[in-house]
Structure 1
Amino acid sequence: MRRRHVHRGMIAATVGGVLTLTTTTATQAAPPPLTDPVKAASIASQLGKERAAGVYYRDGRLVVAVTDQASAETVQSAGAVAEVVPHSTADLDSAKAKLDQLAGIPNTAWSIDQSGNRVDVQIYDGVSATDRSRIENAASGFGDAVDITERSGKIESTAYAMRGGLGILSDYTSGGITRTRACSAAFNVQDDDGNKYMITAGHCMANGAVTWRRRGGEVPLGRATDWAYGNDVNQSDYGVVKYTNPDVTPYGTIQYKDGSEGQISRSASAFEGEKVKRVGTMSQDLVGMVLSTNATVTYDEGTTLKNMTEASNCDVFGDSGGALFSGETALGITSGGSYADQPCGDSDSQADRSTWYEPLGLVLSWEDLKVY
């Protein structure tokens, strides 16, 4: 808005020997439009977080949002457009900081919308009623400074995803012939520095099958850093693959056969009688029970494993390395089972069918890793 400032001055003139005082009016030119966003941000900074509320473009002009008329006049005198709004930068920062305490809820996002003078909260599909309530409670004290909207779909990285239960492949050489081994991922884990690893079965690494890729899309994943199958001091069956492809995002979830996911948030030892689920790349059995712990089993080819968990779930070839879990608790790594050449599903009717699992807790302890 152009403002006209009237400057009154005294001009002396001699008329007929008499000194006369004459008042004149001059028009001050309006300042040129401000086009430098850095300068606009500087103006907002000088006003402070209690009087300013952001800088943005509207209809090609820089706008500085402010909370009072005096600040608006300061902005206008610099050539920028001023907009008086109810919520200051301090107000919006406070609301976002409160919401940031809840950061980590999958399929949620929030940010400060400066042109809307509010914090926009987006809640996508898959957010539980409990988490929705937590977000609403956090926002409730800020009135219309926070706006919550619900959106369909999920928020996913555009990088390749890797989750427990998905198929993995590796090439190895046997008898001079290159072959491909197919197994399953169990859980994604990390070390104290945040480096990500995948846990699978150690017998999958036999004959040098140590460089792994995702079955879907043949996406490179990483290389095994440690593995054991019956020949270590613990007579165990596990493998650890370090992710080396920066385009792969390892999630702390399990993927079911229908594409849905289950969050894994902790690990624990299994106990007899516990209801458990198993997921692998070839099949899943979500209805099972732990039959025993600290089991010793010797497979058909002669390998003996100790400290194993036995469960009533079924499995088939290709499920090796997959996940055994209960709710959000990771329990074990699929090693083998009986009737592995028979169909497998949640309603499996083979009464004496059993599967054996490497306890995940032992592996995490040995390798100094943790679920996330």
Structure 2
Amino acid sequence: MVNVLDDRGAGRVGEAGAVPRLVDHSTAALRRSARALTEDASVPGTAWSVDPRSNRVAVVADSTVTGARWDRLVRVTERLGDTVSVRRSTGAFGPFAGPVDGGDAVFGGGARCSLGFNVDAGGARAFLTAGHCGTAAATWSADPAGAEPLGTVTASVFPGDGDFALVAYDGPEAEAPSTVDLQDGRVREITRAVPAAVGMRVQRSGSTTGLRSGTVTGLDATVNYGNGDIVTGLVQSDVCAEPGDSGGPVFSGDAAVGLTSGGSGDCTRGGVTFFQPVTTALEAVGAEIDPGGDTVGTPGGGVSGRPGGISGRLGVVRDVLE
């Protein structure tokens, strides 16, 4: 399904074999509204993403957005009219790093995160995780005491244009298969990476809450986690997550889709979760999903890279045809 602005666009879409859907706002107009929000209403506890289904920029405000912050948000969104929608979220936005193999726990600098996807980085084995995990510690291990070292951070982005880190394995003998931990004794092989689309069904594996599923609800999300930590280029979903799930894999079938970043709520009440598009992270660090590579070393042991799960791709709505 492709959003169009007029009958001419509908005709072009129909000729291409897709289903046209007439909407009021172009992608360019929605992106202008998103830029206005970034410039005039970026207060801690807010986030927004482009939702082609509603043909609006979906703005979410957590429970901390009150008083002058709420008034500021209302003023800006009212000015932008029906190009935006606003709703509240339970809890407070924050990264999902915890205190203390896709989806398996990794530890560094007193923090617990989740391994995302094992990858090939220029012929060397490595794994992806969240950038705010990568900035918390330079080295990561498979245990809290550091007795089972895994690797060293070679690239990390957070905040700013994403939330992802690359950790290079230290030795040549540990197993690092391109699989996701389904948290029930099984793993799923990951063979490729794909971009997210609104309506896509995804699963997430994490070291705190295990395997969870849900739907992509927005693209090009900007999130203000507070303390100056503003992240752009994320994907919004309704898959729940909790501290410690950060960095864990978001996937659909055998395809890698993203890395868990943060959000609000929990897996009891539900909430809003944001994740880093894996295609963007792979391109930035020069890595690729490699289902054929599974041997990589870690002195003193290793961890299976077992990133996460399954799901279909029904009801996908594409952006406006301009």
Give the TM interval when normalised to the shorter protein. 0.5 to 0.7
- The amino acid of 1:361's aligned partner reads T
**For residue 338 of structure 1, what is the aligned residue in structure 2?**
264
User: Matched residues in 2 for 1:245 and 1:220: separation?
Assistant: 9
Alignment of 1:154-165 (within 5 A): 163-165=101-103
Q: Which runs of 5+ in 1 are unaligned?
A: 1-162, 172-179
Shift of 1:187: 0.2
Shift of 1:285: 4.3
CA contact (8 A) 1:294 1:306 kept: yes
> Within the alignment, does 1:206 sit opposite 2:132 as a pair?
no
User: Matched residues in 2 for 1:257 and 1:285: separation?
Assistant: 6
Alignment of 1:101-112 (within 5 A): none
CA contact (8 A) 1:337 1:356 kept: yes
User: Matched residues in 1 for 2:185 and 2:228: separation?
Assistant: 36
- The amino acid of 1:335's aligned partner reads S
> Within the alignment, does 1:170 sit opposite 2:108 as a pair?
yes
- RMSD, matched Cα: 1.7
CA contact (8 A) 1:285 1:313 kept: no
Q: Alignment partner of 1:369: what SS?
A: coil
User: Matched residues in 2 for 1:301 and 1:255: separation?
Assistant: 33
**For residue 221 of structure 2, what is the aligned residue in structure 1?**
295
Task: State the TM-score, normalized to the length of structure 2.
Answer: 0.56
**For residue 158 of structure 2, what is the aligned residue in structure 1?**
229
Shift of 1:191: 2.7
- The amino acid of 1:319's aligned partner reads D
Q: Alignment partner of 2:259: what SS?
A: strand
Q: Cα deviation per residue 1:15-73 (whole Å; 9 max; x = unaligned)?
A: xxxxxxxxxxxxxxxxxxxxxxxxxxxxxxxxxxxxxxxxxxxxxxxxxxxxxxxxxxx
Alignment of 1:102-251 (within 5 A): 163-171=101-109, 180-193=110-123, 195-207=124-136, 209-215=137-143, 218-231=147-160, 235-251=161-177
- The amino acid of 1:362's aligned partner reads T
CA contact (8 A) 2:259 2:276 kept: yes
CA contact (8 A) 1:166 1:215 kept: no
User: Matched residues in 1 for 2:205 and 2:121: separation?
Assistant: 24
User: Matched residues in 1 for 2:221 and 2:195: separation?
Assistant: 13
CA contact (8 A) 2:233 2:276 kept: yes
User: Matched residues in 1 for 2:240 and 2:277: separation?
Assistant: 17
User: Matched residues in 1 for 2:151 and 2:269: separation?
Assistant: 38
**For residue 237 of structure 2, what is the aligned residue in structure 1?**
311
Q: Cα deviation per residue 1:308-329 (whole Å; 9 max; x = unaligned)?
A: 0111100010111101000000
**For residue 370 of structure 1, what is the aligned residue in structure 2?**
288
CA contact (8 A) 1:214 1:220 kept: yes
User: Matched residues in 2 for 1:349 and 1:225: separation?
Assistant: 36
Q: Alignment partner of 2:172: what SS?
A: coil
Q: Cα deviation per residue 1:264-292 (whole Å; 9 max; x = unaligned)?
A: 00001000000000011111343200001
% of aligned pairs identical? 32
CA contact (8 A) 1:164 1:185 kept: yes
> Within the alignment, does 1:357 sit opposite 2:285 as a pair?
no
CA contact (8 A) 2:130 2:261 kept: yes
- The amino acid of 2:133's aligned partner reads C
Task: State the TM-score, normalized to the length of structure 1.
Answer: 0.49
- The amino acid of 1:219's aligned partner reads E
Match 1:267 to one of 183, 193, 198: 193
Q: Alignment partner of 1:247: what SS?
A: strand
CA contact (8 A) 1:212 1:223 kept: yes
Q: Alignment partner of 1:370: what SS?
A: coil
Q: Cα deviation per residue 1:151-176 (whole Å; 9 max; x = unaligned)?
A: xxxxxxxxxxxx311100012xxxxx
Q: Cα deviation per residue 1:88-120 (whole Å; 9 max; x = unaligned)?
A: xxxxxxxxxxxxxxxxxxxxxxxxxxxxxxxxx
User: Matched residues in 1 for 2:135 and 2:211: separation?
Assistant: 26
Q: Alignment partner of 1:258: what SS?
A: coil
Shift of 1:349: 5.0
Q: Which runs of 5+ in 2 are unaligned?
A: 1-100, 291-322
Question: CA 1:251 to 1:314, structure 2 compared with 1: closer, same or farther past 3 Å?
Answer: same
**4+ residue runs over 2 A deviation:** 215-218, 284-287
Aligned residues: 189
Shift of 1:224: 0.5
Query: Considering only CA atoms, is the larger Rg found in Structure 1 or Structure 2?
Result: 1
CA contact (8 A) 2:221 2:236 kept: yes
User: Matched residues in 1 for 2:226 and 2:210: separation?
Assistant: 23
Higher relative contact order (CA 8 A, sep 6+): 2
Shift of 1:356: 0.4
CA contact (8 A) 2:182 2:211 kept: no
- The amino acid of 1:166's aligned partner reads D
Q: Alignment partner of 2:135: what SS?
A: helix
CA contact (8 A) 1:255 1:262 kept: yes
User: Matched residues in 2 for 1:336 and 1:192: separation?
Assistant: 29
